[in-house]
Chain A
């Protein structure tokens, strides 16, 4: 597969503030990529540079092997779906969708069919003569999609496309956007701060932090092998703690969780020089054992809270000065019988292979 977009050492400075810092990223043709990060991480700026609304301070953007770094927005073969949809309030739905064709010199009669095709794609061909203000939020979103797709851009950019919708509609649109991506076969680049949305919809996720890429990979890559504690904490939940690692005579590696000893399986990320580093494990990778003498790699603690969630329960446990979250699946046979209650003394068992080692650092 060829790269439809190549971003090379791209930076954007706003005065003294660095919005995007030396980002290099290749995006394959036909891929659905999501740029994920908290507000202010530079994800929108990156998208706006691809669209041509912001001029990079440094670096290059290639679209289909052509350098478009200095090409104005109206000459780039990318189209954008805006966060507020940006539908032209004075134009009917049909004219909104056909706008891109009109300004590019397509005759009125030749515009009709592509407009209908684009609206069919999003299931709104019956609204062609409505004004934007007569539509619901979800319908406006679809019109914005149809308008951006009508000229079949090389890349479709989506800037927080679902953030203005309510929860139910958002879930429905997540699925619809995935289907639409399959149907049109174009490259989609979406920006969002919602990790669930990113995981559900995209083939590849680029996690950003302070203007830089913290990690990129498939959703399962990011979840199972987070490159650093930031990603581990941003994608899903991770019980993070800091410790030094020591190697025993029998080649075991020992760490500790707020004073209690733990073993970790050998791993090339473990620093054995006695420096403090960050470790972590996912809530579902730890289990509660009721007889602490049977625990092989256990931590003792006291249950702080039990949060019932239907499919599973999240149990918050105080261990020393730390707090550990574990998820216990609730199968039909076991019912809730084995859920502990608040104040219970419990033992948590963790497989040494499920503990992840991250960068050097300290967590209080």
Chain B
């Protein structure tokens, strides 16, 4: 931290200039969010500055809007299921990558990571085609599968990175002391990768929760929360949306902070 500070201050010659730059970067990043949060408490329907009075009405209205509540419910359903699905596939995949050498292993690693780099729109269109060919009807379940393909990369990379830091001798020591493969997994491997699994799971959850492009192509009649917001936005921003945004912001912030804490390596 200090070295970066000195470096920057040398470049900008004075501390004042550095502070100004730092402040404007942070403002650029966070001003829109702050505006959103403030407008969610504004008592005026029009988004005009300065705010005249404060109210909790939008939050109350939000909880009476059946469509909105249903969309929130759908989003929770999709995010939970796709996270669970990625964990079920991703954790064993990370274990296999770490433990076994097989033909095409490095290619497999790159292919698993590819969906994270692909634009969501490509994933969306290609999966839409696939489902049409196979004859699946579009529903929240197809959205779950779409999200899972992109999110597996996150689980695999995070869990794999943690596994690579675990000495191989731990597995051997466990077997040497008489443990079966399952016992070794439950008593040694899992406790040591637990935090990375939870952390990557939470990150997947937040990413799935606010995902639009893939969802747009793969959903049927049901809407997730970001889709609902997007569709109501065409009729203009309502203070209600600001209130939803604020709630999501709080939830995401909590999940992201937990996941960052979990993914942090305790040894470092």
Does A238 sit at the interface, judged by CB under 8 A? no
The residues in B between 20 and 65 inclusive whose CB is less than 8 angstroms from any CB of A are none
In the complex, B104 has a CB within 8 A of chain A: no
Q: A86 at interface (Cβ–Cβ under 8 A)?
A: yes
Cα distance, A149 to B150, chains bound together (Å): 48
Instruction: Give chain B nearest CB distance to A191 CB in angstroms.
Output: 14
- Answer whether residue A61 sits at the interface, using C-beta atoms and an 8 A cutoff: no
In the complex, the answer to whether B172 meets A53 with C-beta atoms within 8 Å is: yes
A72–B179 Cα distance when bound, in Å, is: 11
Q: Taking A86-B167, A151-B178 as contacts, is the C-beta distance between A103 and B183 under 8 angstroms? A: yes
Interface residues of B in 161-209 (CB under 8 A from A): 167, 169-170, 172-180, 183, 187-188, 191-192
A99-B180 contact given A72-B175, A73-B172, CB 8 Å threshold: no
Alpha-carbon separation in the docked complex, A87 to B175 (Å) = 13
Is there a chain B Cβ closer than 8 Å to A217's Cβ? no
A89 to B191 Cα, complex, angstroms:
10
CB distance from B176 to the nearest CB of A (A): 5
Q: How far is the CA of A79 from the CA of B175 in the complex (A)?
A: 10
Nearest chain B CB to A156's CB is how many angstroms away? Answer: 11
CA A102 to CA B183, docked complex, whole Å: 10
- Provide the residues of chain B in CB contact with A79, threshold 8 Å: 176-177
Determine the residue in chain A with the shortest Cβ distance to B181: A74
Given contacts A82-B169, A103-B183, contact A88 B188 (CB under 8 A): yes
Chain A residues whose CB sits within 8 angstroms of the CB of B174 once the complex forms: 88, 99, 103
Q: Count chain B CB atoms within 10 A of each CB in A84, A89, A103 and give the residue with the most.
A: A103
Q: B237-268 CB contact bits vs A (8 Å, 1 = yes)?
A: 00000000000000000000000000000010
How many chain A residues touch B (Cβ–Cβ < 8 Å)? Answer: 27
Chain B residues closer than 8 Å to A51, beta-carbon distance: 172, 176
Asked if A89 contacts B192 (CB within 8 A), the reply is yes
Docked pose: A186 CA to B172 CA in angstroms = 22
Q: Which of A88-120 contact B (CB under 8 A)?
A: 88-90, 99-100, 102-104
The answer to whether A86 and B173 have CB atoms under 8 Å apart is: yes
Q: Which residues of A contact B191 (CB under 8 A)?
A: 90
Q: How many A-B residue pairs have CB under 8 A?
A: 67
Distance (whole angstroms) from the CB of B198 to the closest CB of chain A: 14
CB pair A84 B169 closer than 8 Å: yes
Q: Does A213 sit at the interface, judged by CB under 8 A?
A: no
Tell me the minimal C-beta distance from B182 to chain A in angstroms.
10
Residue contact B172 to A74, C-beta cutoff 8 Å? no
Q: Is A80 an interface residue (CB 8 A)?
A: yes
B170/A88 in contact, CB under 8 A: yes
Cα A84 to Cα B178 in complex, Å, equals: 19
The residue that A147 contacts in the complex, of B177, B179, B180, with Cβ under 8 A, is: B177
Instruction: Write the chain A residue with the least CB distance to B183.
Output: A103
A90, B178: Cβ atoms closer than 8 Å: no
Provide the residues of chain B in CB contact with A103, threshold 8 Å. Answer: 174, 177-180, 183, 187
- Nearest chain-B residue to A88 (Cβ)? B188
Q: How far is the CA of A82 from the CA of B175 in the complex (A)?
A: 13
Instruction: Please report which residues of chain A, range 46-88, place their CB below 8 angstroms from some CB of chain B when the two chains form the complex.
Output: 51-53, 72-75, 78-80, 82-84, 86-88
Q: What residues of B have a CB within 8 angstroms of the CB of A73 in the complex?
A: 172, 175-176
Q: Which residue of B lies closest to A83 (CB)?
A: B169
A87 to B177, CA, bound (A): 12
Residues from chain B with Cβ under 8 Å of A100 in the complex: 177-178
A-side contacts of B179, CB under 8 Å: 74, 99, 103
Min Cβ gap B137→A in Å is: 46
Q: Which of A130-152 contact B (CB under 8 A)?
A: 133, 147-148, 151
Q: Which residues of A contact B172 (CB under 8 A)?
A: 51, 53, 73, 80, 82, 86
Residue from the set B178, B179, B187, B267 with the largest chain A CB neighbour count within 10 Å: B178
Q: Which of the residues B170, B180, B192 comes within 8 Å of A86, measured between beta carbons? A: B170
In the bound complex, residues from chain A placing their C-beta under 8 Å from that of B183 are: 103
- Return B227 CB to nearest CB of chain A, in Å: 42
The reply to whether A86 and B169 contact each other, CB–CB distance below 8 Å, is yes
**B192 touching A74 by the CB < 8 A rule?**
no
Q: Which of B167, B170, B178, B187 contacts A104 (CB 8 A)?
A: B178
In angstroms, how far is the closest chain A Cβ from the Cβ of B173? 4
Given A84-B167, A86-B170, A74 and B180 contact (CB-CB distance below 8 Å): yes
Q: How far does the Cβ of B238 sit from chain A's closest Cβ, in whole Å?
A: 50
Q: How far is the CB of B28 from chain A (nearest CB, A)?
A: 42
The residue of chain A having its C-beta at the shortest distance from the C-beta of B188 within the complex is A88
Q: Which B residues have a C-beta under 8 Å from some C-beta of A? A: 167, 169-170, 172-180, 183, 187-188, 191-192, 267
A interface residues, Cβ below 8 angstroms from B: 51-53, 72-75, 78-80, 82-84, 86-90, 99-100, 102-104, 133, 147-148, 151
The 10 tightest CB contacts between A and B, nearest first, are A100-B177, A86-B169, A86-B173, A103-B179, A73-B175, A90-B191, A74-B175, A82-B169, A104-B178, A80-B176
Extra A-B contacts (9), CB below 8 Å, given A53-B176, A73-B176, A99-B179: A51-B172, A52-B176, A53-B175, A72-B175, A74-B175, A74-B176, A74-B180, A83-B169, A87-B173
**20 residue pairs A–B, Cβ–Cβ below 8 Å:** A51-B176, A72-B175, A74-B177, A74-B180, A79-B176, A80-B172, A83-B169, A84-B167, A84-B169, A86-B167, A88-B173, A88-B187, A89-B192, A90-B192, A102-B187, A103-B177, A103-B180, A103-B187, A148-B176, A151-B177
